[in-house]
Structure 1
Amino acid sequence: MTDKVVVVGAGVVGLSIALVAQARGIAVQVIDREGPAAGASAGNAGAFAFTDILPLASPRIMRQAPKWLLDPLGPLSVPPAYALRIAPWMLRFWRACAPARVRASTTAQTALMDLSKAELEPFLAATGTLPMLRKEGNLQVYESQAEFNASLPGWQAREDHGIEFRHMTLDEMSAVQPGLSSHFTHGTFTPGWYSIADPRDYTVALADRFRANGGEITIAEATGLADDGVLTTAGKLRGRVVLAAGAFSHLLARTLGVRIPLETERGYNTTLPADAFDLRCQITFGGHGFVVSKLTSGIRVGGAVELGGLKLPPNYKRAEAMLKKAAAFLPGLRTGGGEQWMGFRPSLPDSLPAIGPLPGHPNVLCAFGHGHLGLTQSVGTARIVADLLSGADPGIDLAPFSPARF
Structure 2
Amino acid sequence: MPKMLVDPSSPLAIRWRYLPKLTPWLVRFLVASRPGRVEQISLTLAGLQKQALRGLADLLVAPNPDAGLFAGGHLLAYGSDAAFRRARHGIETRLARGMHVEILDAAGVSRLHPVLEGRVQHGVLVHDSYYADPLVFTTALATLFTNRGGRWLPGVVHSFRIEGRRVAAVETDQGSLPASNVVIAAGAWSRSLVRALGFDTPLDTERGYGVRIPDPGVELQGPLIYMDHHVGITPIPGGLMLAGTDELAGLHAPPDYRRAEILIKAAKKLFPQMNSDGAEPWMSFRPSHPDSLPVIGRSPRQENVYLAYGHGHLGFTLGAITGELIGQLVDGDDTTVDLAPFHPGRFRMMGRRRDAILPS
Q: TM-score, normalised by structure 1?
A: 0.79
Alignment-derived partner of residue 129 in structure 2: 193
Contact 2:215–2:275 (8 Å) recurs in 1:
no
Q: Which residue of 1 aligns with 2:37?
A: 101
1:364 equivalent to 2:299? Answer: no
Once residues 271 and 117 of structure 2 are traced to their aligned partners in structure 1, the CA distance between those partners, rounded to angstroms, is 6
- Aligned alpha-carbon RMSD (Å): 2.0
In structure 2, what is the equivalent of residue 209 of structure 1?
144
Of residues 383-392 and 222-231 in structure 1, the stretch that sits farther from structure 2 once superposed is: 222-231
Instruction: Supply the distance in 2 between the matched residues of 1:349 and 1:229 (Cα, whole angstroms).
Output: 31
Name the structure 2 match of 1:219. 154
**Percent of aligned pairs sharing the same letter:** 36
- The answer to whether the 8 A contact 2:113-2:220 is kept is yes
Match of 1:311 in 2: 252
* Residues 1:374 and 2:309 aligned together: no
3-state SS of 1:163 partner: coil
Preserved CA contact (<8 Å) 1:274 1:296? no
Mark the CA change 1:381 to 1:130 in structure 2 (over 3 Å): closer, same or farther: farther
Q: Following the alignment from structure 2 to structure 1, what is the Cα–Cα distance between the partners of residues 215 and 314? A: 24
Q: 2:84 aligns with which of 131, 148, 167?
A: 148
Aligned AA (2:150): G
Once the two structures are superposed, the pairs formed by residues 345-356 of structure 1 within 5 Å of their partners are: 345-356=286-297
Pair 181,361 (structure 1): closer, same or farther in 2 beyond 3 Å: farther
Tell me if the contact between 1:242 and 1:364 (Cα under 8 Å) persists in the aligned partners.
yes
1:78 matched residue in structure 2: 14
In structure 2, do the counterparts of structure 1 residues 136 and 333 end up closer, same or farther at CA, with 3 Å as the change threshold?
farther
Structure-to-structure mapping, 1:103-252, within 5 angstroms: 103-125=39-61, 132-180=68-116, 182=118, 184-196=120-132, 198-225=133-160, 226=162, 227-239=167-179, 240-252=181-193
1:92 maps to 2:28: yes
Q: SS where residue 264 of structure 1 aligns?
A: strand
For 1:269-325, what per-residue CA distance to the aligned partner results, in whole angstroms no more than 9, with x for missing partners?
110115532011111123422201112253111211001111111100110111012
Distance 2:238 2:151 in 1: 28
Counterpart mapping for 1:381-392 below 5 A: 381-392=322-333
Provide Cα deviations, 1:306-355, integer angstroms capped at 9, x if missing partner.
01111111100110111012112112311111111111111111111110
Q: Residues 263 and 131 of structure 1: is their aligned pair in 2 closer, same or farther, counting only changes over 3 Å?
A: closer
Letter in 1 for 2:319: S
Q: Is the 8 A contact 1:352 1:370 kept in 2?
A: yes
Q: Displacement, 1:72?
A: 2.7
Q: Mark the runs of 5 or more structure 2 residues left unpaired by the alignment.
A: 348-360
Q: Indicate the SS of the match to 2:87.
A: helix
Q: 1:241-390 alignment to 2 at 5 Å?
A: 241-273=182-214, 276-390=217-331
Q: Secondary structure at the match of 2:114?
A: coil
Alignment partners' CA distance in 2, 1:216 and 1:207: 10
- Give the Cα–Cα distance (whole angstroms) in 1 for the partners of residues 73 and 223 of structure 2: 7
**After the TM superposition, which segments of 4 or more aligned residues of structure 1 sit over 4 Å from their partners?**
126-131
Q: 1:92 and 1:103 mapped to 2: Cα distance?
A: 16
Aligned length: 341
3-state SS of paired residue (2:153) = strand
Q: Deviations over 1:75-106 (max 9, x none)?
A: 11001111121011011111111111111111
Q: 2-side partners of 1:168 and 1:190: how far apart?
A: 11
2:76–2:123 Cα contact (<8 Å) kept: yes
SS, match of residue 311 in structure 1? coil
| Unaligned segments of structure 1, at least 5 residues | 1-64
Supply the AA of the counterpart residue of 1:330: F
Q: Name which of structure 1's ranges 335-344 and 267-276 shifts more when overlaid on structure 2.
A: 267-276
Deviates more, 1:184-193 or 1:367-376: 184-193
- By relative contact order (CA 8 Å, sep 6+), the higher-ranking structure is 1
How big is each residue's C-alpha offset from its partner over 1:104-147, in whole Å with a ceiling of 9 and x where there is no partner?
11121011111112222122129988864312221112243333
Question: What is the identity, as a one-letter code, of the residue corresponding to 1:109?
Answer: L
User: For residues 276 and 367 of structure 1, do their structure 2 counterparts lie closer, same or farther at Cα, with a shift above 3 Å needed?
Assistant: farther
Task: Tell which structure's C-alpha radius of gyration is larger.
Answer: 2
Matches of 2:63 and 2:297 in 1, distance apart? 25
* Cα deviation 1:204-224 (Å, max 9, x = unaligned): 122122222222101101112
Q: In 2, distance between residues paired with 1:181 and 1:82?
A: 43
- Give, as a single letter, the amino acid of the residue that structure 1 aligns with 2:102: R
* TM norm structure 2: 0.89
